[in-house]
Structure 1
């Protein structure tokens, strides 16, 4: 979204009655929550794919530190 578009959105929002502002904020919050869920689900699917392809390392925290020290 361009800066002009965002500025227009903010300007239009400021002109709304209080009840409409509250409704708009509620809708936006729900959309943001859903977008975050989608991003987490996408990342989880990617992680599972990488695990199945054996592209990730597994082990304990001790193993992790040992691996990091070797780098």
Structure 2
């Protein structure tokens, strides 16, 4: 989730709660979330947050490594 620009900057997820609900409805178990979106966690219901393994990332490279399971 989130957006990575051509210059490499990370943008937070718009409407985090709605986006996570779509992920839940689609059957997702793990969700990659940019660290910049952590400030919006207060707007997400606890039941929705606990439905996933949330994986934070800080850069495009970090997101790719975590998505592939490479440490």
With the length of structure 2 as denominator, give the TM-score of the two structures. Answer: 0.27
Higher helix share: 1
Larger Rg: 1
With the length of structure 1 as denominator, give the TM-score of the two structures. Answer: 0.27
Higher strand share: 2
